[in-house]
Amino acid sequence: MKSGDNHVSSQLLKGAAVLSLAAIITKLLGTLQKIPLQNIGGDGVFGIYNTVYPFYTILLTLATAGFPTAVSKFVAERHARGDERGKRAVLWLATFMMIALGLVGSALMYFGAPQLAAMIGSSQLVPALRSSAPALLFIPLSAALRGYFQGLQNMIPTAVSQVTEQAIRVAVMIVFLLYLSSAGATESVIAGGALSGSAFGGAAGLLVMLLYWAGYRRQRRTSAEQSIDVNQVRSIAVGSGSNEAHPGLSSGSASVAGERGRALLSSLLRYAIPICLASLAVPLISLVDTFTLPRLLSSHGDELAIMSAVGVYNRGIPLVQLVTMLASSLSVLFIPVLAEMNIRGDTAGIQRQLTLALRWFWLIGLASSAGLALLAEPINVMLYQDAAGSGTMAWIAWTAAPSALVTVTAALLQGLGYVRAPAFHLLLAAALKTALNAALVPQLGITGAAIAGIIAYAVAAALNLALLLRRTGLRPDAQAALLRPAGAILALAAAVLLLRLAAAPLPQSRLIAALVSLLGVLLGAAVFAVAVLRTRLLTAAEVAALPRLGPKLLKLLRKLRLIRPE
């Protein structure tokens, strides 16, 4: 029995690793694709794209966030019982719901585009809204199939589908950008072409899932044929086992009737809807800018000028998203460890892991914010060709630290069983961002929106942290949390500023900006790491305690003589 449990655990860990890797690749592609988008299309196209995309993401989250998880849970339960009809019933019902949601969402996006654009405050958005609508016909259906295979503990189809979807989306986006820009199309049409890549990516992702489904059906049919004898063939010919011999979507209606379709639908919705609502909290802050910035910037020029300003505002956001992506990928490592300790009632172990996680992510966030803020101008020129909005980008860089804390505290709370609180705190942060945008943007423009973002994420991080400390009894050391990291940040700042002073006499060009940016990132990271390790902000034991990665990282640091032996 133990060997079987170990095999299941091993399969789950491998599946989690595959999905995590796919998530990292898709997020990286999604973040980095914004650079050619701005370079080819310009700030106007960039602004239109980034105004529409959060709204599209909200609809997509509603359609897909909770249902793959719900489908995988219900399929896994029936798979464990050997209930083939029950598995197909879940898939048939989920497929029906996904098709219905996809049709409704797509119709809303396409036919409601003029009304939505009017609500946001710019008619430039209509082509982009309509171009993103067809993706909602494909992606929700993929979600149902992904959930089915995840329920079978087969994560490969989901991973391949996600990466294919994102890669095709980005490739098609770039092709349309190049073609429409060379043809002299307007900014709104170019942005619409870029967003149409989502439909092509969604279709490609669905095609991958259908190919895996066809292969699975063939495998099931072959297994069934090999396991039955002549008498079973005769009984099947009479009709007693036709459904079992031919698993597929077509047999779903009978299965649903057998499992009381309404009860199954109710169970799926009860499980999926809370996950959907929790997932909505993250893109909601971006949606605040979608609905507020164009109107609040109305005194700053015509519609296209406003969209260009929104594009400049969004230049710094992909950099922060890279930091958040790193934090999200690393924070997952702590969830199973904390869950296990929580079950055992190991309070001391929980407090050690919390201290370690909070210190790691606070330091990563601080270093990222300081480095990106100090290098905002050369990074801006390197990525986006000019220095427009460098001051705003520097402000946006300071959202990296609270965003990293929001990510890790949410993961730690989930590991301890508090799933809804982080989502509620982000909803409060979104409401605060709305109020602060209204107060700051009319006076400060896009810089006001950046400052509002810092405050909103800081409040969400503080609420998460307060709940975490209250529930675990942890008492953080103020000196270790604030004073000593401040010294490491000052060392980083001194090194980066000296580099920028040394490079000041050089001719200003995109190549020089790229060299200063890359050298600045490497130098700043190295100086900060040495300062952290030499001041024992992180000890060898704490580095080694990092789940899964710690021992290898400690070995590397000792080779480089960056950490003192204990």
Q: Would you list the domain boundaries of the chain?
A: 1-289
What's the pLDDT band for 260 if we cut at 50, 70, 90? low
Residue with the bigger pLDDT between 544 and 374: it is: 374
Q: Answer whether residue 374 shows pLDDT above 90.
A: yes
pLDDT on residue 248:
45
pLDDT mean over 552-558: 78
pLDDT on residue 224:
65
Residues 387, 377 contacting (CB under 8 angstroms)? yes
pLDDT on residue 566:
54
Q: Answer whether residue 378 shows pLDDT above 80.
A: yes
Q: Answer whether residue 8 shows pLDDT above 60.
A: no
Which tokens sit at 34? 């914004």
Task: In whole angstroms, give the CA distance from residue 290 to residue 496.
Answer: 34
pLDDT digits (tens, 9 = 90+) for 334-346: 766 777 787 788 8
Q: What does DSSP assign to residue 154?
A: -
Q: What does DSSP assign to residue 175?
A: H
Q: Answer whether residue 319 shows pLDDT above 50.
A: yes
Q: Answer whether residue 372 shows pLDDT above 60.
A: yes
Task: Give the three-state DSSP class for 547.
Answer: coil
DSSP 165-197: HHHHHHHHHHHHHHHHHHTT--HHHHHHHHHTH
Q: Answer whether residue 278 shows pLDDT above 90.
A: no
pLDDT digits (tens, 9 = 90+) for 489-507: 999 999 999 999 999 999 8
Which tokens sit at 7? 């095999």
Lowest mean pLDDT among 91-95, 296-300, 465-469: 296-300
What's the pLDDT band for 258 if we cut at 50, 70, 90? very low
| Highest mean pLDDT (candidates 83-92, 113-122, 534-543) | 113-122
pLDDT on residue 65:
67
User: Position 321: which residue type?
Assistant: Q
> Number of H helices and number of E strands within the chain?
28, 0
Residues 529, 553 contacting (CB under 8 angstroms)? no
Task: In whole angstroms, give the CA distance from residue 152 to residue 269.
Answer: 20
Write down the mean pLDDT value for the chain.
Answer: 83
Nearest to 32 by CA among 170, 161, 197: 170
pLDDT on residue 134:
93
pLDDT on residue 499:
95
pLDDT on residue 11:
57
Residue with the bigger pLDDT between 417 and 89: it is: 89
pLDDT digits (tens, 9 = 90+) for 419-454: 788 888 999 999 999 999 999 999 999 999 999 999
Task: In whole angstroms, give the CA distance from residue 398 to residue 373.
Answer: 7
pLDDT mean over 98-118: 91
Residues 199, 131 contacting (CB under 8 angstroms)? yes
HEC profile for 40-68?
A: HHHHHHHHHHHHHHHHHHHHHHHHHCCHH
What's the pLDDT band for 10 if we cut at 50, 70, 90? low
pLDDT digits (tens, 9 = 90+) for 519-532: 999 999 999 988 88
User: Position 351: which residue type?
Assistant: Q
pLDDT on residue 332:
66
pLDDT on residue 259:
46
Handedness of CA 324, 326, 332, 338 (dihedral sign): negative
Task: In whole angstroms, give the CA distance from residue 277 to residue 472.
Answer: 26
Task: In whole angstroms, give the CA distance from residue 335 to residue 415.
Answer: 4
Task: In whole angstroms, give the CA distance from residue 4 to residue 13.
Answer: 14
Share of the chain above pLDDT 90, in %: 41
Task: In whole angstroms, give the CA distance from residue 253 to residue 246.
Answer: 14
pTM above threshold 0.85: no
What's the pLDDT band for 475 if we cut at 50, 70, 90? confident
pLDDT on residue 541:
73
pLDDT digits (tens, 9 = 90+) for 194-235: 999 999 999 999 999 999 999 998 888 877 666 555 445 445
Task: In whole angstroms, give the CA distance from residue 397 to residue 286.
Answer: 16
Lowest mean pLDDT among 63-72, 364-373, 385-394: 63-72
pLDDT on residue 564:
59
Task: In whole angstroms, give the CA distance from residue 39 to residue 178.
Answer: 10
- Give, rounded to a whole angstrom, the gap between the first and last alpha carbons of the chain: 41
Q: Answer whether residue 251 shows pLDDT above 60.
A: no
Rounded-to-10 torsion of CA 454, 392, 308, 181: -100
Q: Answer whether residue 241 shows pLDDT above 70.
A: no
Nearest to 150 by CA among 139, 138, 162: 162
